[in-house]
Structure 1
Amino acid sequence: MVIGAIDSAQSSIRMMAYSFTAMDIMQALVKAKNRGVDVKIVIDERGNRNDVSHRAMKYIVKNEIPLRVDSDFPIQHDKVMIIDERSVQTGSFNYTKAAESKNSENAVVIWNMPQLAKPYLEHWEDRWNRGEDYK
Protein backbone atom coordinates (compact mmCIF):
# COMPACT_ATOMS: atom_id res chain seq x y z
CA MET A 1 0.00 0.00 0.00
CA VAL A 2 2.74 2.50 0.90
CA ILE A 3 4.77 1.85 -2.25
CA GLY A 4 1.57 1.89 -4.31
CA ALA A 5 0.79 5.34 -2.90
CA ILE A 6 4.30 6.54 -3.81
CA ASP A 7 3.97 5.05 -7.29
CA SER A 8 0.65 6.87 -7.81
CA ALA A 9 2.17 10.33 -7.30
CA GLN A 10 2.19 12.57 -10.34
CA SER A 11 3.40 15.92 -9.01
CA SER A 12 4.45 15.86 -5.35
CA ILE A 13 5.10 13.76 -2.26
CA ARG A 14 5.55 15.30 1.17
CA MET A 15 6.57 12.73 3.77
CA MET A 16 6.89 12.92 7.55
CA ALA A 17 8.52 9.96 9.22
CA TYR A 18 9.45 8.93 12.73
CA SER A 19 11.67 6.00 11.73
CA PHE A 20 13.12 5.76 8.25
CA THR A 21 14.91 2.55 7.23
CA ALA A 22 12.98 0.55 4.59
CA MET A 23 15.15 0.48 1.48
CA ASP A 24 12.32 -0.49 -0.89
CA ILE A 25 10.39 2.61 0.21
CA MET A 26 13.52 4.74 -0.30
CA GLN A 27 13.95 3.28 -3.79
CA ALA A 28 10.30 4.00 -4.63
CA LEU A 29 10.80 7.62 -3.53
CA VAL A 30 13.89 7.93 -5.74
CA LYS A 31 11.98 6.43 -8.69
CA ALA A 32 9.22 8.97 -8.12
CA LYS A 33 11.76 11.80 -8.05
CA ASN A 34 13.38 10.48 -11.24
CA ARG A 35 10.04 10.55 -13.06
CA GLY A 36 9.58 14.22 -12.14
CA VAL A 37 7.69 14.06 -8.84
CA ASP A 38 8.75 16.76 -6.34
CA VAL A 39 9.67 14.71 -3.24
CA LYS A 40 10.56 16.24 0.14
CA ILE A 41 10.94 14.43 3.45
CA VAL A 42 11.12 15.52 7.08
CA ILE A 43 12.06 12.97 9.75
CA ASP A 44 12.48 12.81 13.49
CA GLU A 45 16.05 13.32 14.70
CA ARG A 46 15.91 11.00 17.71
CA GLY A 47 14.22 8.14 15.87
CA ASN A 48 16.96 8.07 13.24
CA ARG A 49 20.25 8.03 15.13
CA ASN A 50 21.11 4.46 14.14
CA ASP A 51 23.36 3.29 11.29
CA VAL A 52 20.50 1.80 9.24
CA SER A 53 18.65 5.12 9.29
CA HIS A 54 21.80 7.03 8.37
CA ARG A 55 22.37 4.74 5.37
CA ALA A 56 18.80 5.39 4.21
CA MET A 57 19.17 9.14 4.77
CA LYS A 58 22.45 9.25 2.85
CA TYR A 59 20.84 7.29 -0.01
CA ILE A 60 17.99 9.82 -0.19
CA VAL A 61 20.31 12.85 -0.13
CA LYS A 62 22.71 11.26 -2.64
CA ASN A 63 19.73 10.96 -4.98
CA GLU A 64 19.01 14.68 -4.55
CA ILE A 65 15.81 14.42 -2.54
CA PRO A 66 15.60 17.23 0.04
CA LEU A 67 15.61 15.77 3.55
CA ARG A 68 15.26 17.67 6.78
CA VAL A 69 15.67 16.45 10.35
CA ASP A 70 13.29 17.78 13.00
CA SER A 71 14.59 17.94 16.57
CA ASP A 72 12.18 20.63 17.74
CA PHE A 73 9.91 18.19 19.62
CA PRO A 74 10.69 15.40 22.09
CA ILE A 75 9.39 13.06 19.36
CA GLN A 76 8.17 13.93 15.86
CA HIS A 77 6.02 10.83 15.65
CA ASP A 78 4.21 11.51 12.36
CA LYS A 79 3.95 8.77 9.73
CA VAL A 80 2.32 10.54 6.81
CA MET A 81 2.60 11.14 3.09
CA ILE A 82 0.67 13.86 1.30
CA ILE A 83 0.45 12.93 -2.37
CA ASP A 84 -0.26 15.50 -5.09
CA GLU A 85 -1.77 17.80 -2.42
CA ARG A 86 -4.96 15.73 -2.56
CA SER A 87 -4.37 12.29 -1.04
CA VAL A 88 -3.04 11.26 2.39
CA GLN A 89 -1.37 8.03 3.54
CA THR A 90 -1.23 7.71 7.32
CA GLY A 91 -1.39 5.20 10.15
CA SER A 92 0.88 3.51 12.67
CA PHE A 93 3.18 2.26 9.88
CA ASN A 94 6.76 3.47 10.33
CA TYR A 95 8.73 3.45 7.08
CA THR A 96 10.83 0.50 8.25
CA LYS A 97 11.53 -3.11 7.31
CA ALA A 98 10.03 -4.23 10.64
CA ALA A 99 6.78 -2.41 9.86
CA GLU A 100 6.70 -4.12 6.48
CA SER A 101 7.37 -7.65 7.68
CA LYS A 102 7.10 -8.15 11.46
CA ASN A 103 5.00 -5.61 13.33
CA SER A 104 1.25 -5.31 13.70
CA GLU A 105 0.67 -2.04 11.84
CA ASN A 106 -2.04 -0.16 10.04
CA ALA A 107 -1.92 2.18 7.08
CA VAL A 108 -4.66 3.84 5.12
CA VAL A 109 -4.69 5.99 2.00
CA ILE A 110 -7.48 8.54 1.68
CA TRP A 111 -7.61 9.32 -2.03
CA ASN A 112 -8.66 12.54 -3.75
CA MET A 113 -9.70 14.58 -0.73
CA PRO A 114 -7.83 17.89 -1.00
CA GLN A 115 -9.86 19.31 1.91
CA LEU A 116 -8.33 16.59 4.11
CA ALA A 117 -4.87 16.86 2.57
CA LYS A 118 -4.69 20.61 3.24
CA PRO A 119 -4.30 20.48 7.06
CA TYR A 120 -1.84 17.60 6.72
CA LEU A 121 0.18 19.67 4.26
CA GLU A 122 0.11 22.67 6.62
CA HIS A 123 1.36 20.41 9.44
CA TRP A 124 4.10 19.05 7.14
CA GLU A 125 5.16 22.60 6.18
CA ASP A 126 5.48 23.55 9.85
CA ARG A 127 7.70 20.53 10.55
CA TRP A 128 9.72 21.20 7.37
CA ASN A 129 10.31 24.81 8.43
CA ARG A 130 11.44 23.69 11.90
CA GLY A 131 13.83 21.09 10.49
CA GLU A 132 17.43 21.35 9.40
CA ASP A 133 18.88 19.99 6.17
CA TYR A 134 20.48 16.57 6.55
CA LYS A 135 24.06 16.58 5.30
Structure 2
Amino acid sequence: MQLRGESAGADVLFSSQDDIALYLVDFINKAQHRVWVSANEFSLPDVAQAIIQAKVRGLDVRVLLDASQTGPDKNNAAARFRAGGITPLIHSRNRGMHQNFVICDDDRVAFGSAGFTAAAMQKARAGTPSKKTADNFNLFVGVPALAKQYATEFERLTSESAR
Protein backbone atom coordinates (compact mmCIF):
# COMPACT_ATOMS: atom_id res chain seq x y z
CA MET A 1 0.00 0.00 0.00
CA GLN A 2 1.33 3.45 -0.86
CA LEU A 3 0.66 6.49 1.30
CA ARG A 4 1.59 9.88 -0.18
CA GLY A 5 1.49 13.45 1.07
CA GLU A 6 2.76 16.70 -0.41
CA SER A 7 6.44 15.97 0.12
CA ALA A 8 6.51 12.64 1.93
CA GLY A 9 5.27 9.14 1.35
CA ALA A 10 5.40 5.60 2.59
CA ASP A 11 5.16 2.11 1.19
CA VAL A 12 3.62 -0.23 3.76
CA LEU A 13 4.62 -3.79 2.92
CA PHE A 14 3.53 -7.14 4.35
CA SER A 15 5.37 -10.37 3.60
CA SER A 16 2.08 -12.20 3.13
CA GLN A 17 1.38 -10.18 -0.02
CA ASP A 18 4.53 -8.25 -0.99
CA ASP A 19 8.03 -9.27 -2.01
CA ILE A 20 9.70 -6.85 0.39
CA ALA A 21 13.20 -7.63 -0.89
CA LEU A 22 12.34 -6.30 -4.37
CA TYR A 23 11.14 -3.02 -2.90
CA LEU A 24 14.24 -2.79 -0.72
CA VAL A 25 16.62 -3.30 -3.66
CA ASP A 26 14.88 -0.45 -5.52
CA PHE A 27 14.96 1.72 -2.37
CA ILE A 28 18.73 1.20 -2.05
CA ASN A 29 19.38 1.65 -5.78
CA LYS A 30 17.78 5.12 -5.64
CA ALA A 31 20.18 6.34 -2.93
CA GLN A 32 22.42 9.22 -3.97
CA HIS A 33 24.62 9.92 -0.94
CA ARG A 34 24.38 7.31 1.80
CA VAL A 35 23.20 3.79 2.60
CA TRP A 36 23.45 2.73 6.25
CA VAL A 37 22.15 -0.73 7.15
CA SER A 38 21.48 -2.33 10.53
CA ALA A 39 20.60 -6.03 10.39
CA ASN A 40 20.02 -8.78 12.90
CA GLU A 41 19.94 -11.51 10.22
CA PHE A 42 21.10 -11.13 6.64
CA SER A 43 20.96 -13.73 3.87
CA LEU A 44 19.50 -11.91 0.85
CA PRO A 45 22.06 -11.84 -1.99
CA ASP A 46 20.10 -9.34 -4.12
CA VAL A 47 19.88 -6.84 -1.27
CA ALA A 48 23.55 -7.40 -0.40
CA GLN A 49 24.47 -6.78 -4.03
CA ALA A 50 22.47 -3.52 -4.08
CA ILE A 51 24.36 -2.37 -0.97
CA ILE A 52 27.71 -3.34 -2.50
CA GLN A 53 26.81 -1.51 -5.73
CA ALA A 54 26.02 1.61 -3.69
CA LYS A 55 29.60 1.43 -2.37
CA VAL A 56 30.89 1.00 -5.94
CA ARG A 57 28.91 4.13 -6.92
CA GLY A 58 30.88 6.05 -4.27
CA LEU A 59 28.16 6.40 -1.65
CA ASP A 60 28.79 6.45 2.11
CA VAL A 61 27.94 2.81 2.87
CA ARG A 62 28.01 1.40 6.38
CA VAL A 63 26.75 -2.00 7.47
CA LEU A 64 26.10 -3.03 11.06
CA LEU A 65 25.47 -6.72 11.70
CA ASP A 66 24.60 -8.74 14.74
CA ALA A 67 27.44 -10.97 15.95
CA SER A 68 25.43 -14.01 14.83
CA GLN A 69 26.19 -13.04 11.22
CA THR A 70 29.90 -13.88 11.53
CA GLY A 71 31.66 -17.18 11.94
CA PRO A 72 33.49 -19.87 10.01
CA ASP A 73 30.99 -20.07 7.13
CA LYS A 74 32.54 -18.17 4.21
CA ASN A 75 29.01 -17.41 2.97
CA ASN A 76 27.96 -15.55 6.10
CA ALA A 77 26.81 -11.95 5.78
CA ALA A 78 30.01 -10.42 7.14
CA ALA A 79 32.14 -12.37 4.64
CA ARG A 80 29.82 -11.44 1.77
CA PHE A 81 30.15 -7.72 2.53
CA ARG A 82 33.92 -7.94 3.03
CA ALA A 83 34.23 -9.64 -0.37
CA GLY A 84 32.30 -6.68 -1.81
CA GLY A 85 34.66 -4.11 -0.30
CA ILE A 86 32.58 -3.22 2.77
CA THR A 87 33.95 -3.88 6.25
CA PRO A 88 30.87 -4.41 8.40
CA LEU A 89 30.71 -3.40 12.03
CA ILE A 90 29.78 -6.27 14.32
CA HIS A 91 27.49 -5.55 17.25
CA SER A 92 28.06 -7.96 20.09
CA ARG A 93 27.34 -5.88 23.17
CA ASN A 94 23.84 -7.24 23.65
CA ARG A 95 22.76 -10.77 22.83
CA GLY A 96 20.81 -10.42 19.62
CA MET A 97 20.75 -6.90 18.19
CA HIS A 98 17.26 -6.83 16.67
CA GLN A 99 17.30 -3.51 14.85
CA ASN A 100 16.55 -3.96 11.16
CA PHE A 101 16.60 -0.74 9.17
CA VAL A 102 18.10 1.04 6.18
CA ILE A 103 18.81 4.76 5.97
CA CYS A 104 19.23 6.20 2.49
CA ASP A 105 20.35 9.79 2.06
CA ASP A 106 18.97 12.33 4.55
CA ASP A 107 15.26 11.74 4.13
CA ARG A 108 14.54 8.05 3.50
CA VAL A 109 14.25 5.22 6.04
CA ALA A 110 13.05 1.63 5.77
CA PHE A 111 12.31 -0.46 8.84
CA GLY A 112 10.03 -3.15 10.18
CA SER A 113 9.82 -6.52 11.84
CA ALA A 114 11.27 -8.41 8.86
CA GLY A 115 14.85 -9.59 9.07
CA PHE A 116 16.93 -9.54 5.91
CA THR A 117 16.11 -13.16 5.05
CA ALA A 118 14.03 -14.83 2.34
CA ALA A 119 11.74 -16.31 4.98
CA ALA A 120 10.92 -12.86 6.31
CA MET A 121 10.95 -10.67 3.19
CA GLN A 122 9.77 -12.77 0.28
CA LYS A 123 6.13 -13.66 -0.06
CA ALA A 124 5.12 -17.28 -0.45
CA ARG A 125 4.96 -18.40 -4.07
CA ALA A 126 1.82 -19.91 -5.53
CA GLY A 127 1.63 -23.61 -4.82
CA THR A 128 3.98 -23.44 -1.83
CA PRO A 129 3.00 -23.76 1.81
CA SER A 130 2.07 -20.52 3.52
CA LYS A 131 4.83 -18.62 5.25
CA LYS A 132 5.63 -19.36 8.86
CA THR A 133 6.24 -15.68 9.54
CA ALA A 134 4.08 -12.61 9.09
CA ASP A 135 6.46 -9.69 8.79
CA ASN A 136 6.27 -6.09 7.70
CA PHE A 137 8.64 -3.46 6.40
CA ASN A 138 7.85 0.19 5.76
CA LEU A 139 9.68 2.49 3.36
CA PHE A 140 9.47 6.19 4.22
CA VAL A 141 10.50 8.87 1.72
CA GLY A 142 10.76 12.62 2.33
CA VAL A 143 10.94 12.42 6.13
CA PRO A 144 14.26 13.98 7.21
CA ALA A 145 13.36 14.05 10.93
CA LEU A 146 12.80 10.28 10.89
CA ALA A 147 16.05 9.68 8.99
CA LYS A 148 17.90 11.83 11.53
CA GLN A 149 16.52 9.82 14.47
CA TYR A 150 17.54 6.54 12.86
CA ALA A 151 20.98 7.95 11.98
CA THR A 152 21.47 8.91 15.64
CA GLU A 153 20.53 5.38 16.72
CA PHE A 154 22.82 3.89 14.06
CA GLU A 155 25.71 5.99 15.39
CA ARG A 156 24.96 4.81 18.94
CA LEU A 157 24.92 1.16 17.86
CA THR A 158 28.12 1.50 15.86
CA SER A 159 29.87 3.08 18.86
CA GLU A 160 29.18 -0.22 20.68
CA SER A 161 30.52 -2.33 17.81
CA ALA A 162 33.80 -3.65 16.44
CA ARG A 163 35.17 -4.34 12.97
Does the pair score TM above 0.5?
Answer: yes
1:63 match: 84
Alignment of 1:92-107 (within 5 A): 92-101=113-122, 102=131, 103-107=133-137
1:83 match: 104
Distance 1:52 1:28, change over 3 A: farther
Give, in angstroms, the shift of residue 100 of structure 1: 2.8
Tell whether 2:130 aligns with 1:130. no
Retained in 1: the 8 A contact 2:70–2:79?
no
Aligned residue pair count = 132
CA distance in 1, matches of 2:26, 2:60: 17
Larger Rg: 2
1:12 match: 34
Distance 1:131 1:116, change over 3 A: same
Give, in angstroms, the shift of residue 74 of structure 1: 2.2
Retained in 2: the 8 A contact 1:85–1:118?
yes
SS of 1:73's partner is coil
Question: Which protein is richer in helix relative to its size?
Answer: 1
Tell whether 2:43 aligns with 1:21. yes
2:150 match: 120
SS of 1:43's partner is strand
CA distance in 2, matches of 1:105, 1:53: 28
Deviations 1:50-99 (A, max 9, x none): 66685332121122113011011122100101110211100112111222
SS of 1:29's partner is helix
| RMSD between superposed Cα atoms in Å | 1.8
Q: TM-score, normalised by structure 1?
A: 0.88
**Structure 2: 5+ residue runs without aligned partners?**
1-22, 123-130
**Structure 1: 5+ residue runs without aligned partners?**
none
Q: TM-score, normalised by structure 2?
A: 0.74
